[in-house]
Chain A
Amino acid sequence: MGDSRDPKIAGSSERILIPGTGIELPVDFDLSRRDMLKIAGYGSLAAFIAACGGTTPTTTSGSVTAKGGSMSIGSYLSDAVPKKGLQDVVDAFTSANGGTKVKVNTVDHGTFQNTINNYLQATPEDIFTWFSGHRMRFFAKKGLAQPIDDVWNDVKSNFTEGFAASVKGDDGHVYAVPTSYYPWAIFYRKDVFTAGNYKIPTNWDDFIKLCQQMKKDNLIPMAFADKDGWPAMGTFDILNLRMNGYDFHVGLCGGQQKWTDPKVANVFKKWAELTPYYSPAFAGLTWQEAAQQLRQKKAGMYLLGLFVSEQFVSGGNADDINQLDFFPFPDLGTQYDSEKALDAPIDVYMLAKKSPTLGTDSGQAKAFLEFMSKGSSQITYWKASPGAIPTANDADPSQYPALTKKAAQIVSGAKRITQFFDRDSRPDFSGPNAMQGFLLRYLSSPKQDTSSLQGQMQSFWDSLTPE
């Protein structure tokens, strides 16, 4: 692929061919005929869509933005590092946009996520930080997010088609500006691999052999931690993508495929070949503790997102981060290996439709979204918070360290990209007393016959109210 980064996000059984690129792009996997019927059922939503159709402003770049004035952002960037990143961008925006006053309301990340429903219905800020994928489309569908087609028309030339697809709602309107993303891959320390004379495994057999060798060498072959519940989903995602393909995976997350499918059983069987090499007592470890096992050379490899680097930076030893490297998940010898699919969640900024101030601040808020779409702004954020990669085409990659460059590369090499299980599926299905709990139960004895567990997953899905 010519472009350095060309992620294609969120997809479906239906595809469209992007003219001139030869890329088949999956679109809106949620928007099945059944879903259309469901949407029709939401009277208020129909009215909402109609309203949008009538009032979408014209798309000349001067008219959608405004200078000066004020606006507000509801942010879940509560960790010190990304919080500073946002503040840097906001400061730059204020001076570039005629002194627009920006009020940033930072809420603890987990709390923000858990209370998002109420937040968006009460008195949200003009702009809020969020994720792409199902979770973005959900709020768009509920009429809690404001479409930003006008902003997108101004900035879309700065994004690849993959990113463009990732910010579209089920109704075809654009609801978000993508600002950063990061891939999931297998991380390792270069010095550990050199010392042990280990080779990067490209297929499953080599991978398992490498695990055996590391075990002999008294290393934990695969660091793994699932106290938080979500990390196991990363392994499920990648195995399912490689064994059953992208279409099946998004179908499974979206409810079009069944959890009782023997294909899912095969994923669990394959997974059981890997679990003997996991960190001992992984169900009681946090991802940070497992990352420390990797950093302290107690563990050989770790399947996680690029954010694992935070733990290498915070250790204080500069050599740690230089030794950190990663490789893509090995091939499993299926027809889907060529998809090179992986999880690469995208972070976005959206407009909260119910914001009481959005009426007056609309121009400033849209100006901020356009500002966030610039490569230079994203680089400002990235410099303060390097755990995620800028999305804009004009973000200058020359400043990236090797790890970031490689991360951008692995994503551009992937033909299919998913957002991570809890962003691709319904939040009520992926929570701690749902999928996270099911996966932990599987992991408590991976060799078990999973048919009853799969039955429980499916019956839980069936019990959920259609969205």
Chain B
Amino acid sequence: MATSITPAREDSPEAGELAPTRRGRYNVLTRYDRRVLMLMVGIPLLLEIIFIWWPTLSSILLSFTNYDGVGDVGPQNFVGLKNYQFMFSGYTLFWPAFFHNVIWLAWLAFIATPIGIFFAVLLDRELRGTAFYQSVFFLPVVLSLVIVGFIWELQFSPTEGFFNNAFGLTKANNIIDWLGNPRINLFAILIAASWRHVGYIMVIYLSGLKSVDPTLREAAKVDGANEFRTFFRVIFPVMAPINTVVAVITTIEALRAFDIAFIVNQGKNGLELLSILITNNSISEASLVGFGSAIAVILLVISLGPIIVFLSRVMRTTS
């Protein structure tokens, strides 16, 4: 094959010169350029492999073992699909945890996120004291979810907490066990999670609304559309990129839900979540690393869905 149509090699005399490639394009990269490029691609790639791909692949590998975290993994540790088999058929907490994640997602998607968007739309109308309201709603966002968990744990405490005392339930001896009753405690911590999530969505959406061309609204107004129609027919479609971001954030928040439930009771008694099952099984003293990894793999597979959707969107808009 003629050198002229292969990509220029470092040692070839014409390296760095304009050499036509197989596709007929010209290689404009000098040797130096390629070194820089290699470093710029190679270093992130190396980091990516070390910190993302290696742990991910290790997790997948470990999920086929009964490794207990002591010593090295050996061939005797491999147990095939036993962990998965037990997870789906024997482990009574897997499906509750799975559905708690689904409920979490549904709550955020249909309640918390719409409220956040609603607040953003209201605040976008240049009300008096907008800045004040913005900071009030945004305040919880600067707190870590762990702190949010501590704060709401105190509010929900059966005898000492704000809710039961404010409604006089402790006196009437009608105590509502917000965090201990497995039928309601998930919703109690969802309220806590929403407290933060609403502000987060509000800020993101608000910044998106600010960048919407005001002439669009005027045009809609001239055409006689009311506020409601203007938002749903004009503004909302224009906000498509922000909408995607909000949808992805909401999904990620639901999948990574962990902190509040773990603070409240280490994620038991109705607060089981996939992330918590992973932690309690593999990172805690229990050290069921193999089994915990199997749950982690399932969470990874579930997470791939929104990741792929998000990436394909991003790729499409950039290309």
Contacts and interface: CB of A to CB of B under 8 A. Distances in A.
Interface string B255-272: 000000000111111001
Contacts of A178: none
Contacts of B280: 431-433
Interface size class of B (residues with CB under 8 A): 35 or more
Contacts of A284: 156-158, 177-181, 185
B93 A437 contact: yes
Interface in A21-70: 41, 44
Interface stretch (A234-242, A394-402, A456-464): A456-464
Contact of A433 (B71, B179, B180, B268): B268
Contact of A463 (B69, B91, B285, B287): B91
A431 B286 contact: yes
A115 B283 CA distance: 7
B277 interface: yes
Interface stretch (A149-157, A275-283, A335-343, A361-369): A275-283
A427 interface: yes
A437 B178 CA distance: 17
Nearest to A462: B90
A463 B178 CA distance: 33
Interface residues of A, number: 41
Contacts of B158: 280-281, 284-285, 289
A432 B280 CA distance: 7
A227 B266 CA distance: 9
Contacts of A144: 70
Interface in B264-294: 264-269, 272, 276-277, 280-281, 283-288, 290-291
B240 to A, nearest CB: 41
Interface of A: 41, 44, 113-118, 121, 142, 144, 226-229, 280-285, 289, 293, 427-428, 431-434, 436-437, 440-441, 444, 456, 459-460, 463-465, 467
Interface of B: 66, 68-71, 76, 79, 86, 90-93, 156-160, 173, 175-182, 185, 264-269, 272, 276-277, 280-281, 283-288, 290-291
Given A427-B286, A432-B265, 10 more contacts: A121-B69, A142-B70, A142-B71, A144-B70, A283-B177, A283-B181, A285-B159, A289-B160, A293-B159, A463-B86
21 contacts: A44-B71, A113-B285, A114-B283, A114-B284, A117-B70, A142-B70, A227-B179, A227-B265, A229-B269, A281-B158, A281-B180, A282-B177, A284-B157, A284-B179, A428-B286, A431-B285, A434-B286, A444-B181, A464-B288, A465-B68, A465-B288
